[in-house]
Structure 1
Amino acid sequence: MLAGVCIAVLVLPLNFGGAAVSAPTIGTALGGSPVAINWILNAFMLSFGSSLMVAGALADLLGRKRVFAVGVALFAATSLGISAAPSLVWVDFLRALQGIAAALVLAGSSAALAQEFDGHGRARAFSMLGTTFGVGLALGPLLAGFLTQTFGWRSFFLADAAIGLTGFALGVPKLRESYDPHANGLDWPGAISFTAALTLFTFGLLQGPESGWSSPLIVSLFLGAAVMAIAFVWIEGRVTRPMLDLSLFRYPRFVGVQVLPLATAFCYVTLLLVLPTRFIGIEGHTAIGAGLMMVSLSAPMLIVPLTAAHLTRWMSAGVISAIGLVIAAIGMLWFSGIGLDASATVLGIPLFVIGVGAGLPWGLMDGLSVSVVPKERAGMATGIFSTTRVAGEGMTLAVASAILAVLTRLRLADALARSPGASAHAVTEAAQRVATGDLAHAAVLLPALGQPVLVHAYDGAFRVLLHMLAAITLASAIMVLGFLGRTPSAASPDDASPALSGGKGIADR
């Protein structure tokens, strides 16, 4: 049963880095605007993050086994649909459905395993689940690169379906059904306002470089996102069973824990999703070559999180996490100084350093998310943390993509000032094409500039982006140290349940 669940869950991390490797090829094969190409990744991340808390409520209400089974079946069905998609619009739509399926799989599997195992068995089961995520993150880019280059991009999604159905066949028949007897419905107003806020904000970020940040469309999207966010907070403060219990944020250490997934999104997940575009579209590597290079970044996730757990015998989890973020920032600064013509070995060393740094908080933050609140609030804390993690990853990806497009446009505009003739619209679209790795179409839009100039503009923009990500990561390290660096006193309200602040607790988990 555990093997089946882990195999089914494996498709989730595979789709993080794997889909990023396949995205440039999909964009080339099916065409479409740069915004549509960005939605290959963002549609999945956005729907995944915005559906997690609803999926958890459905698992309690309808049954954990049932939600897990429906999620796996839907994930396999959407994967098959993507493999046969005739256009980029269909790929984006099915990727959004796939994100909803991923939320059902993760929520259902986590709740089901918690019912199936107790004590040390439960700790080992969730350790296996965590290891599965590490394996998926490490192998996703390599598997996608091999399949995309050898059999075409559609084969990666066929493999997704096959893996998911294998997990379904092994795991679902062995799972027992379980419910929350106190569940009494869903917080639909909260779910709708939360999803609307995320969607409007993300769409505004992706469309901004093309439409202009001061255009009525973009201003309306951001205003709508703000209104929906305010509505969500207002709703959650008044419903009987809120989707998000805002009172948890009165625990300072819980607030600090929410910084960790956002920090790792900026220093790790964003690179995991953006770098394949650079390697394939800008540097001209094959899909397999890009996948091999990405292993340098993702492979540490197989070992470092477990190492971090053991280090808590001597240091607090907050200090270890802060050290990891500093290491990741150093790796990004190192990587920013390497040119586009560098060898895979030269590029791989700083990527490995980034992976090691990100792996330290990665191995601790799940346990921290439930240890810094009273024990009876652990379920809600996990839901909030998971949503912060996945939704934050989607938003940071959208932010990074928008920044990269804007910075590239500024550099192209400077280059064209020396040889004018292109329209502002052509420069904007070319910048977005370059940011998504589509040099061929960008060169057609700006014939006065050769591809070397376009590559140079991207390189300069990417270096600045890395500096910005490193600065955010360092600021996050300071915040984590302030919120989580000290060992809480026995009188602290954050200690209402065992804290992962050092000593034996985290290693046992």
Structure 2
Amino acid sequence: MSERTTSTGGRGWTLAVVCVATFMLLLDLTVVNVALPDIRDAFDASFTSLQWVLDAYALGLAAVLLTAGSLADRLGRKRVFNVGFVVFLLASLACGLANDVAVLSVARGVQGLGGAVLFAVGPALIGQEFQGKDRGKAFGIFGGVVGLSIAFGPLIGGALTDGLSWRWIFLVNVPVGLLALAVSGLRMRESRAEAASAVDWWGMVLFTGALTLLVLALLRGEDEGWGSAPILGMFAASAVLLAVFAVVERQRGERAMFQLALFRNVTFNGVSVVTLVCAAATMSAIFLLVSYVQNVLGYSPWETGLRFLPLTGTLFVAAAIAGSLTTRVPQRLLMGTSLALIATGLGLVALTGPDTPWTALLPSMFGIGLGMGLFNPPRASLSIAVVEPDKAGMASGINETFQQVGVAIGIAGFGAAFQGRVSDLFAQSDAGRQLGASAHEFGDAVAAGGGAEAIDRAPAGLAPALEAAARTAFVDGLTDVMLVCAALAVVGSLVGFLFIRTRDLHESARGDAANGQDAQGSSQDGATGEQPVGEPVPAGGER
């Protein structure tokens, strides 16, 4: 199939609009964390209700990523992107005007659906406009924006919450988004697959249902109980729907929204696994580190954001460097090295202790920031390089799906491990043993950031001992979980080094990637299984 584009527009405008949209949607993934105490006070919300404010967005974001990318290839990427933008902005307005926590949670879910469209289609829009070295630079900028949105979340959320109101973390999207939407309508080019098949409605329904149940089970497993009937039922139903989806897609062949043949591509599998692992390790780490700085060290939302600037600055510089390296250095080296740096940064959290200042986190922040900055540009570029250009939306949607499932797995899994570890450590302390049967409940409150409130309700004579035990349990639990995250990142690093190969890329992208191989020398190509520069490659991609 060939690619068709219409109308005129500048590449720079496309990159700018995609970056603004991506910054907004990812910012709303992290910005809410620092505002949760204010939201709790405004609505007198329970801890479970506050979790839904976070979970609803992640659920909506993960559920339709692949569907959005596939639709964009068929109906027009600019058109689908702009529809997603409108949904995102209307939902942001509803979040800012919500009158209770239930309305806020529903609006957050719809906001996630709109954000999923932007996230899935954005890289494909960049890919259609930029080629060669320019594509590497463009994805370097895009990757920097992805990292900055995550790292700047606490700072921007803190500034808006402290200076105005928590409502403005949502309302600020509206004027900025309307301006970007206007630019999109006037300046961005349309593109779609020239001979696209009909929309795969059955595939969309089955996959969206399966992914929704999977992510929902992961997000709610800790509260409901991993062995409870609802959670096991959701996992089982998700597995059944995925099996049916695979059968339907195999029968549809080239008309399928998800080309199952991609799983025969080693690099596609490698990038997918590394993306999932990186998202699981880094997003859960940032979530827990923000909680540590706020709830243990006692900094305000704004002060917390300021203390994450070392991570932010490092990430921005690293992303700019990575963008220029994507066509000069083998991308497996960038991906593998980035996860190795993230693993190092996560391991350095062990330098913190119950009485250390926030500066003990600086080595960890530099490592995590450097790794995340190096990771995002090649990840976004590789996600669409494994397929022919007219399937870029599908490939981008698949990769972003792996990323958001990784976020859900990381926050749910590592969050549950952290809560359980903190609760056990506190219950085993001298102060915890004095509380008897209520020790684990107290420990759960500490892990959730409610230690101060729990101490206020405890007998006055026990307060100093409880505070010291809570602080120690939180920090020790944080260190233990970060070491597990670091081990997972090491696994991701090995996958990146071993399973990302230039010869698996589509011919339209292989030449640019091979330039990096040329810089490394033909001897390295032979040692690693990469395709040497200048040697013809058969249609199947193997020599």
Same fold (TM over 0.5): yes
CA separation of 1:256 and 1:418: change in aligned 2, threshold 3 A: same
Q: 1:407 aligns with which of 421, 426, 442?
A: 421
Q: Tell me what 1:221 maps to.
A: 234
Matched, 1:327 2:341: yes
Q: Residues 453-464 of structure 1 correspond to what in structure 2 (within 5 A)?
A: 453-464=469-480
Most deviating of 297-306 and 133-142: 133-142
CA contact (8 A) 1:38 1:206 kept: no
1:266 paired residue number: 280
Shift of 1:235: 3.0
One-letter amino acid of the counterpart of residue 403, structure 2: R
Q: 1:307 aligns with which of 317, 321, 343?
A: 321
1:32 partnered with 2:45: yes
- In structure 2, relative to structure 1, the CA distance for the partners of 1:151 and 1:504 (3 Å cut) is same
Q: Give me the TM-score of the superposition, normalised by structure 1.
A: 0.86
Structure 2 residue 450 is matched with structure 1 residue 438: yes
Q: Which 5+ residue runs of structure 2 have no aligned equivalent?
A: 1-12, 520-543
Asked whether the equivalents of residues 7 and 166 of structure 1 are also in contact (C-alpha less than 8 Å), the reply is no
For residues 35-46 of structure 1, the aligned pairs below 5 Å read 35-46=48-59
> Which residue of the other structure, out of 197, 212, 216, is the alignment partner of 2:210?
197
Match of 1:97 in 2: 110
Cα distance in 2 for residues equivalent to 1:376 and 1:151: 45
For 2:122 and 2:268, how far apart are their aligned partners in 1?
24
Q: 2:340 touches 2:493 (CA, 8 Å); kept in 1?
A: yes
Deviation, 1:155, is: 1.7
2:10 corresponds to:
none
Q: Indicate the larger mover: 342-351 or 123-132.
A: 123-132
In percent, how many aligned pairs have the same letter?
Answer: 31
Return closer, same or farther for 1:115/1:255 CA change in 2, 3 Å cut-off.
closer
Q: Cα–Cα, structure 1 residues 191 and 293, in superposed 2: closer, same or farther, change >3 Å? A: farther
Judge conservation of contact 1:209–1:406 (CA < 8 Å) in 2: no
Q: CA deviation at 1:351?
A: 1.0
* Aligned partner (choices 366, 377, 380) of residue 363 of structure 1: 377
Q: TM-score, normalised by structure 2?
A: 0.81
Alignment-mate amino acid for residue 88 of structure 1: V
Listed as ranges, the matches of 1:311-390 within 5 Å are: 311=325, 315-373=329-387, 378-390=392-404
Residue of structure 2 in register with 1:50 after alignment: 63
- Mapped pair 1:291 → 2:305: yes
| Residue deviations 1:77-96 (CA, integer Å, cap 9, x gap) | 21121112222222221111
Alpha-carbon distance between aligned partners in 1 of 2:97 and 2:353, rounded to the nearest angstrom: 38
Give, in whole Å, the separation in 1 of the partners of 2:184 and 2:328. 38
The alpha-carbon deviation at position 248 of structure 1 amounts to 0.5
Separation in structure 2 between the aligned mates of residue 148 and residue 55 of structure 1, nearest angstrom = 32
Task: Assess, with a 3 A threshold, how the Cα gap between structure 1 residues 290 and 178 changes in structure 2: closer, same or farther.
Answer: same
Counterpart amino acid of residue 476 in structure 1? G
CA separation in 1, counterparts of 2:211 and 2:454?
30
Aligned CA-pair RMSD = 3.2
Which whole-Å CA distance do the structure 1 matches of 2:153 and 2:224 have between them? 34
State how far apart, in whole Å, the 1-side matches of 2:185 and 2:130 are. 16
Task: Give the AA of the match of 2:93.
Answer: L
Aligned pair count reads 499
Match of 1:503 in 2: 515
Code of the aligned partner of 2:119:
L
Query: 8 Å contact 2:25–2:115 — kept in the other structure?
Result: yes
Deviation of the 1:217 alpha carbon? 2.8
Q: Specify the structure having the higher radius of gyration (Cα).
A: 2
Range 97-106 or range 64-73, more displaced: 64-73
Deviations along 1:41-67, whole A, 9 cap, x unmatched? Answer: 332222112212222233344443332
Deviations 1:220-269 (A, max 9, x none): 23323333333333333223422221111101122111122123213322
Q: What is the CA–CA distance in structure 2 between the aligned matches of 1:368 and 1:148, rounded to whole Å?
A: 37
Q: Is the 8 A contact 1:8 1:163 kept in 2?
A: no
- Does structure 1 conserve the Cα–Cα contact (< 8 Å) formed by 2:55 and 2:219? no
> Of residues 235, 247, 265 in structure 1, which corresponds to 2:261?
247
